[in-house]
A and B are shown apart, each in its own frame.
Chain A
Amino acid sequence: MIRIDPLSPTPLNEQIKSGLRGLIARGVLKPGEPAPTIRPLAEALKVNPNTVARAIRELVLEGVLEAKRGEGTVVAEAAPRKAADGLAGIRDGVREALRQARRGGLSWDEIALLVRKAEKENL
């Protein structure tokens, strides 16, 4: 359902959070629906359950997920908007990276090549 790269320098809990936010932003997970549970997600991703638990705890603190008594964790009403805000942050980050790449001397063709390479590697 979500993909992570255990070898990437990005902390695993951040990768899991981005993955879950992405599912919500794309409407795969909708408000009120149960969030993925820790053990199956940990087993599917081959990560330590403590790391998944931490990611879910942090998403609850951020208001993306909501802990409901007797129902476990569900997607919060405000989650799609929050996830979309997160995406806006990612877009800004990409624009900033492009600006730096241009300043650093990369041509648009070289940048396009990097994007295609990343796509091929399923980054």
Chain B
Amino acid sequence: MNALSFHDVVRTFGGSRVLDGASGIAEQGKVIGLLGRNGEGKTTLFKILLDMLAAESGEIEVLGARPDGSGAIRQLAGFIPERPAFHPFMNVAQALALRASLFRNWDAGRAAALCRRLALDPATRIEGASKGTLGKLAWVCAAAHDPALYLLDEPTSGLDSLVREEVLSGLVAELGEAGKTVLVTSHRMDELAGLLDEIWVMAGGKIVVVQSLDALRADACVVSGRLRSPDAPPAVPGAIALGGEGLARSWAVLDRASRERLLGCGALEAPTVEPMPLDRAFTHLLSLKGGAR
């Protein structure tokens, strides 16, 4: 079963196509990391999936509902926006009470348990509250109605390492048998590496790579070797040139098919294959442009 699917979604802002035919399918229960540089359309995609912004064209289905401007999807999803905003004159308890009035399935007991778990004091005033406090509050606001789907836009950004740990543990606690689906962006995807089932790469307003993390773990590697001929370094699709000295060359390769193409192209003498840690693989994925693979 799919928790969400979108097909050929387009959205322009002032003539620039921020989403340019984006398509993707998230199976229920999957934890998906959405990787992309700033301005590639991740935040716009989230807002469209949540029906907070309308697409110009494309098909969208989220938890069996289609965006219709009614706010129905927003009720079903747990969302941490890129910049969580709360009324400065309120305290944490009042901010939660406001949320409770907006969400039909809000569970006050669950909200209180989450606050205890994160050591978030309901009496804390929003004005002057630390980034850590606001980050915890954003998590409680996203999770208190026990949503089946989480859309998390940089959930740990700006938090100190202790609060990041707490928020990540909170996220882990939501996973498992319950079959909750998560789509998460982060500039620190490395700290989510233990949670992810899939990685999606967004570039030029499209999802350009979908890869399971098991496959990325197993297949990402650096291939090095000596060119048989000085004039023709091979141009193999999916092989990212890393440079070299003289006739020695290396490539980053992120999937098995590209690795086999490179090893099978016959241009390399004495090729070696060295596994690549995931943080390096994420960096190379980020460098991919639309349609690179």
Binding site for B on A (CB under 8 A): 4, 6-12, 38-39, 42-43, 45-51, 53
Interface contact B197-A9, CB-CB below 8 Å:
no
Binding site for A on B (CB under 8 A): 31, 165, 168-169, 172-173, 175-177, 190-191, 193-197, 214, 217-218, 220, 275-279
Contacts of B217 in A (CB 8 A): 8-11
- Which residue on A lies nearest to B178, using beta carbons? A49
Contacts of B191 in A (CB 8 A): 46
17 more contacts with CB within 8 A, not counting A9-B217, A47-B195, are: A4-B194, A6-B190, A6-B193, A6-B278, A8-B278, A9-B277, A9-B278, A10-B217, A12-B194, A42-B175, A43-B173, A46-B165, A46-B169, A47-B172, A49-B172, A49-B175, A49-B176
Given contacts A4-B194, A11-B214, A11-B218, contact A50 B279 (CB under 8 A): no
Contacts of A6 in B (CB 8 A): 190, 193-194, 278
Interface contact A48-B214, CB-CB below 8 Å:
no
Contacts of B172 in A (CB 8 A): 42-43, 46-49
A50–B196 alpha-carbon span in the complex (Å): 11
Interface contact B176-A7, CB-CB below 8 Å:
no
A9–B221 alpha-carbon span in the complex (Å): 9
Contacts of A12 in B (CB 8 A): 194
Contacts of A39 in B (CB 8 A): 173, 176
- Which residue on A lies nearest to B176, using beta carbons? A49
Given contacts A42-B172, A43-B173, A49-B175, contact A9 B194 (CB under 8 A): no
- Which residue on A lies nearest to B275, using beta carbons? A9
A51 to chain B, nearest CB (A): 7
Interface contact A43-B169, CB-CB below 8 Å:
yes
Q: Identify 17 residue pairs between A and B in the complex whose beta-carbon atoms are under 8 Å apart, listed by A's number.
A: A6-B193, A6-B278, A9-B220, A11-B218, A38-B176, A43-B173, A45-B194, A46-B194, A47-B194, A47-B195, A48-B172, A48-B175, A48-B176, A48-B195, A48-B196, A48-B197, A49-B176
A12–B31 alpha-carbon span in the complex (Å): 15
Given contacts A42-B176, A47-B195, A50-B176, contact A9 B169 (CB under 8 A): no
Given contacts A47-B194, A48-B31, contact A9 B176 (CB under 8 A): no
A9–B218 alpha-carbon span in the complex (Å): 6
- Which residue on A lies nearest to B196, using beta carbons? A48
Top 10 A-B residue pairs of the complex, sorted by shortest distance between their CB atoms: A49-B176, A47-B194, A6-B194, A9-B275, A6-B193, A7-B278, A43-B169, A7-B277, A43-B172, A46-B194
Q: Which of A38, A43, A46, A50 has the most CB of B within 10 A?
A: A46
A12 to chain B, nearest CB (A): 6
B162 to chain A, nearest CB (A): 13
